[in-house]
Amino acid sequence: MLTIWIIHRDPHHRNALARIAGAGDGTVIGGPGDSLFAGAPAPDAVVLGLAGDFEQELEFVHRFGGRFSDCTWLLLSPPSEHDQVRLLFDTVDAQPLAYPASAHTLRRALRVAIRRHRADSLTARQNRERLRERFGRWFGDLDLPEWMHALDPRLAEVPVLIRGEEGTGRGLLARYIHTFSGDGEEVFLHVGCAGITSLGELGERIGDGGRTRVTSGRVTIWLDEVDQLPAPVQRGLRDWIEFGPAPAALRGATLRWMAGAGDDADLDLEPGIDPRLADVLAVIDLRIPSLHERGEGIERFVEETALFWGQTRSEAPRQFSHDALALLRAHPWPGNLHELESVLLRTLALSGADPVLPGDLRFPEAGHWLPQGGENSADSTVASKASEAAKASPGGSRDILSFFEPEPADDETPAMDPLQMATDAALNSLVPEAASTPEPGRESNLRRAIQAVAHAVRNPLVSIRTFAELLPEQYDDPEFRDQFRELVGQDVARIDEAITRLQNTVDLPSIGSHPVDLAHLLDKLLDEHAEEIRSRQLLVLKELDHGLPHAYGDPMLLRDAFGGLLQRALASVKDRGDIYIASKHHEGSRGGEPSIRVLIRYSVAPGSPPSRDPAPGAENLDAVMAQTIIQSLGGSFTTDTTDADEFVVIIDLPAPGPE
């Protein structure tokens, strides 16, 4: 039996509402302050008549709205007060109705509510609740009353344009509007526009989704990244929206067009949304601010995400330390909330720390935990002098190499972290007691290589496992599926790259020593990344002396070493950052022997791995492989991080002396 609650302060009004609604035996009738509702059966629909200053009604919703958020709430008030009603009663899925209400209007609204209640499975209710919770976490700090217009059931067929940077939650807002502005029977058809080149292809993509999912006469078509469509396709789409017909599979359906586009303040968007298409779509025009525009939004989001993580796992909510929050605030977050949420979920999954410290944060682009602070290697004094020279040189870096004079190494041994101790124990268990003692340098390189491979493989696997655990509960979210596919694909590629690099090194028949033109090699490697350098507007300064003698080494190994270091630099430097590469013939750097010295220096984006490395190449496969290769060829390898957020690599390779 269906249960309907009818509430009004005035007994005559609530009795009239009961007669108009045609209420049956399952109806509970009373005033907003009556105690009978505390023990009444759970309602399928609530009819709440508003009167006076709304205080009693607001208190009623405060008491029961959270308990019965899945049922439909009908709020009756004069039409002139509907906007105020939506703002005040924003915590329930409420539909305002004009009061006095006609019997036809009220009964139709109740039928829709009952039909929705009957059709909703537990899964559908849970999905709506998850959507409501996530929407609150993402946008709870924003005061945007114009968003409420998009939820008005009377505007349920009006086109909507949602603008915002990538990762701000355009798709989440679209799905929320779709779910909570209709009667629950509409189909949400997600259409990604990136890569579409013709109007026919767009029609096929819409039609393919429609043929498999449309089961009723109402469809919401969400055009993700509509501004990526070519101009002719955008003009054809405008005609569809204005005049029809829709793609063949959807003809006869009632359509609501919704589209997402980049922020209109971003002048670099290509090709951008056609102004006439924007006019057609933007009957309701919404903009989501980027993360850096939202003030204290980061701290609120961190707190609520940690609370959500704990609640879903029956754990106490964990806190983030002041320093960790400062590091999160300092990060540029080009991916906005999507990127921040990814960092938080990875961090909470991979660390049980409470409070979470800066060293516990897991940045996706880093591919590993940010290591805890520690002392630099004994050879770091050379790189420190390079950093001081760079800061002291008013004209840039031209004279920086003249400061690189080698100094005696310190004999102090850095403190060993727990991972190093665990790795040492594993290595020692594999070496029989009677075996000959390995050479110190070779054993050290072996340990670093094992650590690097462990981090290069373990962290992507943890990431894959974390997102795989989240997949069942968020599978219906197309944005999550897209993010899952992208992140897992990236992590699998990292694992494959690490294994391939090791295999290629092992497969070398021997290590040769041939003349290698390092300046030409570095030029060629930079050319291979020219497109990325251009698109990210990086400043690359080169002082490569092509008149130098060639260095001695194995060409394939040197290409792997410098290629990995350059790739690491590009991954660590922020957009519009700078990278400096220089080479020169150096006398006496290798125990009095001549060498070719190469310097790589670059600014580090906050949160990137080099800014936190406690030792040269710690737990980073690119750096460990480069260091191992350089040392195996008789060279030296030194790194350091400066106080100015710069990372410096100095390499010396054997070379002939002056003739």
Instruction: Pick the last residue of a domain from 266, 289, 312.
Output: 289
More confident: 618 or 47:
47
Residues 385, 534, single domain; the answer is yes
For residue 195, which amino acid is it?
G
**Chain center to CA of 312:** 21
Residues 24, 88, single domain; the answer is yes
Is 635 contained in some domain?
Answer: yes
Instruction: Pick the last residue of a domain from 91, 119, 147.
Output: 119
Residue 24 belongs to a domain with what CATH number? 3.40.50.2300
Task: State the pLDDT confidence band at 70, using cuts at 50, 70 and 90.
Answer: low
Is residue 568's pLDDT more than 90?
no
Full domain range(s) for residue 355: 299-360
Is residue 639's pLDDT more than 70?
yes
Q: Of 217-226, 295-304, 564-573, 598-607, which range is least confident?
A: 598-607
Residues 410, 327, single domain; the answer is no
Is 365 contained in some domain?
Answer: no
Q: Of 129-143, 278-292, 424-438, 634-648, which range is least confident?
A: 424-438
Over residues 102-113, mean pLDDT? 79
Q: Of 28-42, 291-305, 543-557, 588-602, which range is least confident?
A: 588-602
Over residues 504-515, mean pLDDT? 63
Residues 73, 173, single domain; the answer is no
Residues 492, 417, single domain; the answer is yes
Is 85 contained in some domain?
Answer: yes
- How high is the pLDDT of residue 417? 39
Instruction: Pick the last residue of a domain from 289, 319, 349.
Output: 289
Are 612 and 330 a contacting pair, CB within 8 Å?
Answer: no
Cα torsion 212, 214, 215, 219 to 10°: value is 170
More confident: 611 or 570:
570
Are 402 and 601 a contacting pair, CB within 8 Å?
Answer: no
Residues 631, 515, single domain; the answer is yes
**Half-sphere exposure (Cβ direction) of 47: Cα atoms closer than 13 Å:** 34
pLDDT tens-digit map of 620-633 = 677 777 888 888 78
The pTM assigned to this predicted structure is 0.45
More confident: 137 or 155:
137
Residues 451, 545, single domain; the answer is yes
Residues 278, 304, single domain; the answer is no
More confident: 118 or 401:
118
Structure tokens at 644: 């100015």
Question: Per residue in 613-627, is it b (16+ CB within 10 Å) or e — as a string?
Answer: bbbbbbbbbbbbbbb
- How high is the pLDDT of residue 430? 36
- How high is the pLDDT of residue 146? 75
Is 366 contained in some domain?
Answer: no
| Rounded Cα distance, 213 and 190, in Å | 11
More confident: 397 or 584:
584
Is residue 525's pLDDT more than 50?
yes
Residues 506, 531, single domain; the answer is yes
Q: 387-393 long-range contacts, Cβ below 8 Å, gap at least 24?
A: 387/640, 387/642, 387/643, 387/644, 387/646, 387/648, 390/601, 390/642, 390/646, 390/648, 391/642, 391/644
Residue 408 belongs to a domain with what CATH number? 3.30.565.10
Please give the tally of structural domains in the chain: 4
| Rounded Cα distance, 447 and 441, in Å | 10
Over residues 508-532, mean pLDDT? 82
- How high is the pLDDT of residue 90? 79
Are 328 and 337 a contacting pair, CB within 8 Å?
Answer: no
Residues 279, 342, single domain; the answer is no
Reduced to 3 states, what is the DSSP secondary structure of residue 601? Answer: strand
Residue tagged 């060993």 (tokens): 416
Is 294 contained in some domain?
Answer: no
Residues 395, 508, single domain; the answer is yes
Is 468 contained in some domain?
Answer: yes
Residues 317, 420, single domain; the answer is no
pLDDT tens-digit map of 157-187 = 889 999 999 999 999 999 998 888 765 567 8
Is 572 contained in some domain?
Answer: yes
Residue 319 belongs to a domain with what CATH number? 1.10.8.60
> What is the percentage of the chain residues whose pLDDT exceeds 90?
16
- How high is the pLDDT of residue 366? 41
Is 369 contained in some domain?
Answer: no
| Rounded Cα distance, 90 and 87, in Å | 6
Task: State the pLDDT confidence band at 94, using cuts at 50, 70 and 90.
Answer: confident
